[in-house]
């Protein structure tokens, strides 16, 4: 912090008191506070200030959801009749719902099946299919909650769909999925948010199309998936990447073989894997869960074509509480394709 903060952040107050006052500002005020002066702007938008707020408990987690929304134009028809998607934000502290501004290049809906991750208080959106042509894309977009603006990141090194994603220490890790020719992949890569650069990872032990990624402690778990020659035959194993050593290790028997892991995998308070679809009969279909500290937001339906419910659940060591209904306005009742938490 010493290199970022100079004296008299607030005239008439000692340095430490000025910093304490700005640290206590809610994130919703940062955009306006950063306009007060250049010094405030440099401080409030710095990575060091984010970690300072996090250290002293002035951050909290929100859920960012890829959610179906109403079409922005009634005369716009998509091939196949698929819905438009936007990013919905649920703040469990203020119990508020809002929708982020569209990604600049996609004003009429997010890329289909794009993936979300979070780094240092920012939301990262990458990959997916062009919502009009259905062609896979390599776009990377970053949303800064402090400035409430999108910026373009460096494109992914290659086109891949239905890959695993996870974030740790300012980097986003990507592995598996399939290429534009539907070949399952066992390659991976990592995006450095600060440096805006990509680099390759060592290969997985096997091809893993439609796998799911979660970060547990200092490890990136790539669960299940299937190979090119075994379409839809989901395996029960995982590849686990150790951030400190930079090496993968295979782990067997961590997922029910034959079951698709997409959006079903979470991490409990005890660090154990959770299958959201096994929590309650009310969320058997179209399930998506997002962990928000000691609680989790869970969405899903009881049966195919059924109403989409939204619930909160207390995360406990080795045991989870019952689902609690959330009152949600009609605007935010759309199907949730995927989601992640962002600490702001």
Q: Give CA–CA dist 77/84, Å, rounded.
A: 10
| Torsion angle in degrees (nearest 10) through CA of 9, 12, 17, 21 | -60
Say if residues 5 and 19 touch (Cβ distance below 8 Å): yes
The answer to whether residue 21 is domain-embedded is yes
- The string of pLDDT tens digits covering residues 48-91 is 998 899 899 999 999 999 999 864 433 334 445 567 999 999 99
pLDDT at position 312 over 70: yes
- The string of pLDDT tens digits covering residues 258-270 is 999 988 898 887 7
27 lies in which domain range?
15-56
The answer to whether residue 28 is domain-embedded is yes
Band (pLDDT 50/70/90 cuts) for residue 320 is: low
Residues 6+ apart with CB under 8 A from 52: 1, 19, 23
Mean of all residue pLDDT scores within the chain: 90
- Most confident among 47-51, 160-164, 305-309, 327-331 (mean pLDDT): 160-164
Quote the pLDDT of residue 319.
Answer: 59
The answer to whether residue 191 is domain-embedded is no
Q: Give CA–CA dist 233/207, Å, rounded.
A: 12
DSSP state of 273: E
Report residue 16: phi and psi, to 5°: -70, -30
The answer to whether residue 223 is domain-embedded is no
Q: How many domains does the chain have?
A: 1
Full-model pTM: 0.89
Quote the pLDDT of residue 29.
Answer: 84
The answer to whether residue 19 is domain-embedded is yes
Band (pLDDT 50/70/90 cuts) for residue 224 is: very high
The answer to whether residue 47 is domain-embedded is yes
* Residues paired with 314 in a beta bridge: 295
The answer to whether residue 70 is domain-embedded is no
The answer to whether residue 20 is domain-embedded is yes
Q: Is 154 left (phi over 0), alpha (psi -120 to 50) or beta?
A: beta
- The string of pLDDT tens digits covering residues 78-136 is 445 567 999 999 998 888 999 999 999 999 899 999 999 999 999 999 999 999 899 99
């Amino acid at each position: 912090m010493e290199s970022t903060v100079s004296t008299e952040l607030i005239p008439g107050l000692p340095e430490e008191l000025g910093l304490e006052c700005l640290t206590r500002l809610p994130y919703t005020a940062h955009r306006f506070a950063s306009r007060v002066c250049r010094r405030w702007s440099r401080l409030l938008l710095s990575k060091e200030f984010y970690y300072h707020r996090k250290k002293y408990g002035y951050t909290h987690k929100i859920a960012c959801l890829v959610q179906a929304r109403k079409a922005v134009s009634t005369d716009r028809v998509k091939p196949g009749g698929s819905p438009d998607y936007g990013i919905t934000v649920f703040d469990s502290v203020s119990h508020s719902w809002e929708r982020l501004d569209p990604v600049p290049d996609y004003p009429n809906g997010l890329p289909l099946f794009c993936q979300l991750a979070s780094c240092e208080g920012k939301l990262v959106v990458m990959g997916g299919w062009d919502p009009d042509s259905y062609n896979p894309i390599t776009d990377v977009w970053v949303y800064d909650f402090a400035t409430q603006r999108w910026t373009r990141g460096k494109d992914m090194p290659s086109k891949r769909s239905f890959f695993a994603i996870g974030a740790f220490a300012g980097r986003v890790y990507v592995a598996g999925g399939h290429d534009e020719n539907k070949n399952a992949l066992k390659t991976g890569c990592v995006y450095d948010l600060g440096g805006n650069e990509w680099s390759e990872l060592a290969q997985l032990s096997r091809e893993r199309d439609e796998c799911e990624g979660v970060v547990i402690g200092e490890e990136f778990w790539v669960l299940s998936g299937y190979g090119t020659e075994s379409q839809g035959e989901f395996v029960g194993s995982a590849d686990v990447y150790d951030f400190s050593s930079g090496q993968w290790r295979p782990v067997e028997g961590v997922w029910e073989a034959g079951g698709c892991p997409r959006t079903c995998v979470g991490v409990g308070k005890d660090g154990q894997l959770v299958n959201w679809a096994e929590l309650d009969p009310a969320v058997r279909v179209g399930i998506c869960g997002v962990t928000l500290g000691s609680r989790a937001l869970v969405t899903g339906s009881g049966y195919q074509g059924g109403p989409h419910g939204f619930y909160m659940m207390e995360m406990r060591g080795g045991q989870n509480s019952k689902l609690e209904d959330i009152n949600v306005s009609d605007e935010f009742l759309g199907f949730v394709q995927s989601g992640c938490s962002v600490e702001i």
